[in-house]
Amino acid sequence: MEYLIKESKYMIRNDEIIHFKKNDKNFNILINLYKQGLNLVVERLNEVKDYLNELYGYEVINSITSRIKSSTSIEKKMSKKDCPTTYKNLINNINDVAGARIICNHKDDIYKIKKYISQIDEIKILREKDYIKYPKKSGYSAYHMIIEVPIEINNQFIYIKVEIQIRTKLMDFWASIEHTVKYKTDKKLSTKDSAILTAYAKIINKIGDNMTKIYRKQNKEKCFNIIDASEKYKNMI
């Protein structure tokens, strides 16, 4: 395919080089498409939030945030992947240009949320990574989903990739601090300090597990009328 987008003013070639340091018109057009895709995803996630909170009778989802990667971050990531900076490579190889993050209280909630996201017709799941069952070496835990959603431009559907991260509050606390320590300072983190951060991640994970056990104990006799909830939810969306 010679063009990624070939409709009216949307003319972006596969092999065209991205000019990150200039006011690249095509780059801005592409980022706008990512924004539209992200807006659709956030809208659907808020519907999931309202539905689950009502269905289970408590705040399953605490918050939903979103962001578009800066041109500098995209350029750095493509360089790190040793990826030539063409539009085709950006779209095919950089999966988190658009990102949404869901924060909840308990690990159990993460899997509830993931289940209902997978039932949204407009969302196609491309890839999932369970860093809860299989944490990163650093200690990082979360559930990641790479999805795509259709955006209509001049009677043409463009499929936009969005990364969704689902974390508990405790996971988010650790990840935010770790990111600041590792990537927002000029000095490289020592091996000793990296090991300390990993140990803290395990401690925080244990705290989360124990708090969830207490929550389950307090609510063990509470029953929810969730018969055929999945089908009911599908009909709603």
Q: What are the residue boundaries of the structural domains of the chain, listed by start? A: 3-236
The span from the CA of 154 to the CA of 133, in Å, is: 43
* Length in residues, the chain: 237
Q: Which long-range contacts (CB under 8 A, 24 or more apart) does 17-24 make?
A: 17/84, 17/85, 17/86, 18/75, 18/85, 18/86, 18/87, 18/90, 20/71, 20/72, 20/74, 20/75, 20/85
CATH number at 3-236: 3.30.460.10
The span from the CA of 102 to the CA of 157, in Å, is: 27
The pair of three-digit structure tokens given for residue 233, joined into one six-digit string: 């939810």
Say what the pLDDT of residue 49 is.
97
Instruction: Specify the pTM.
Output: 0.84
The span from the CA of 170 to the CA of 112, in Å, is: 18
Q: What is the pLDDT along the chain (237 residues), one digit of tens a residue?
A: 355 665 445 567 778 888 887 778 888 888 999 999 999 999 999 999 999 999 988 899 999 999 999 999 999 999 999 999 999 899 999 999 999 999 999 999 999 999 999 999 999 999 999 999 999 988 999 999 999 999 988 777 889 999 999 999 999 999 888 878 876 666 777 888 888 888 888 888 888 888 888 877 777 645 444 434 445 555 555
| Residues 218 and 105: beta-carbon distance below 8 Å | no
| Residues 97 and 161: beta-carbon distance below 8 Å | yes
24 exposure class (CB count in 10 Å sphere: 0-12, 13-18, 19+) = middle
- List phi, psi (to 5°) of 172: -70, -40
Say what the pLDDT of residue 4 is.
63
Say what the pLDDT of residue 1 is.
36
| Residues 4 and 89: beta-carbon distance below 8 Å | no
Edge-first strand listing for the sheet containing 61-68? 61-68, 98-104, 156-168, 143-153, 124-130
The span from the CA of 154 to the CA of 152, in Å, is: 7
Say what the pLDDT of residue 3 is.
54
Say what the pLDDT of residue 9 is.
54
